[in-house]
Amino acid sequence: MPLKLDVLRDRSTLSREADDGRIENVFRLHISNTDETPHRYSISVSGIDGIDIVGERSVELPPASSKTVALSARVEPGAGKKGANQIFFEVRADNHEKNRSARDDELLPAMNAKPEAMNPKLNVSSAVWYREPWPWLLMLGPASVIVAGIFTAYLAVVSSDGLVEDDYYKQGLTVNQRTARDQRAVELGIEAELLIGADGDRIRALLHSKEGVLLPETLSMRITHPTRQGFDQQVLLHSEGGTVYAGAVKPFSGRWHITLEDEGQAWRLVGDWVTGKQSVLRLPASAIATAASKGNSD
């Protein structure tokens, strides 16, 4: 008849003494009705004198369906031969002549031994692979590598490499112009102190210069990340009277390269700001002059 039967030993439970004093083993029977009509099946066990089933003895299955039945096989202590014994499970359709049986080798150990000394050797029908945990554990490592590779490729596509200039030739031509602007700041005696507001969204600049130097109405400040160009900011600072300038910024933290210059780009101040360690950034013209002179001598 169109019937499939698999017998699985409960691996988490060894042979044990039941409440009624008999020795039991626990099994799972996976019964599949492959017929196009419903059937009622009776379950029995044989192979050892006095062996009996405790649990569901019959099951009804609709067409093309399956069910797993948990039951235990029990025998009296001392029954069966010494060592492992062979038992048979039989599933019989109440309305069909052909039936299916399954033999389970070495599932019940010596019945005249104590439960804790029984032989746990098994020869059990294996389940389908996707119901076992080991294939999934083995595939977990390679799957993690694939996911990490896809995520890395995504980051490489959507992010920009801030260390590479698209037109390095033009960038080289402007080096002398930048050096001249640094030197101009030294000649004017321009220095600056930068301070971030308490909320991190506003920045102030206090400018110092030689006497008689006319300061601009606005300053341009460029905040550049060392590696991530997408986080760079261009900030316009307006005069609040005297030598104080202020402007709005997006909050930033970490290490940043700061460039401060006038609106006519006649001079500039540069420096690095580690916001977590430096509450105030000082851009002294004297330090810039020293750096510029060293660069020219090289």
CATH of 168-297, one of 3.30.70, 1.10.3470, 2.60.120, 2.60.40: 2.60.40
Residue type for position 165: E
Domains 3-131 and 168-297 share a fold: yes
Radius of gyration of the chain (CA): 42
Grade residue 176 by pLDDT with cuts at 50, 70 and 90: low
Task: Say yes or no to pLDDT of 295 above 50.
Answer: no
Contacts of 274 (CB under 8 A, 6+ apart): 254, 255, 256
Residue 161's pLDDT is: 59
Q: What is the mean pLDDT of residues 211-221?
A: 90
d(CA 103, CA 88): 4
Q: Where do the domains of the chain lie?
A: 3-131, 168-297
Lookup: tokens for 75: 């025998």
pLDDT tens, position by position, 220-246? 999 998 888 788 999 999 999 888 999
Long-range residue pairs from 151-160, CB within 8 A, at least 24 positions apart, any chain:
159/228, 159/230, 160/228, 160/229, 160/230
Q: Which of 6-10, 196-200, 291-295 has the lowest mean pLDDT?
A: 291-295
Lookup: tokens for 56: 């569901």
What is the CATH topology of the domain spanning 3-131? Immunoglobulin-like (2.60.40)
pLDDT tens, position by position, 5-41? 888 877 777 778 888 889 888 888 899 988 888 989 8
Dihedral sign computed on CA atoms, order 62, 66, 72, 75: positive
- Where do we find the tokens 């000394």? 117
Residue type for position 126: S
Q: Which of 90-94, 113-117, 202-206, 280-284 has the lowest mean pLDDT?
A: 113-117
Residue type for position 157: V
d(CA 57, CA 297): 99
Q: What is the pTM assigned to this prediction?
A: 0.41
Task: Say yes or no to pLDDT of 156 above 70.
Answer: yes
SS3 category, 152: helix
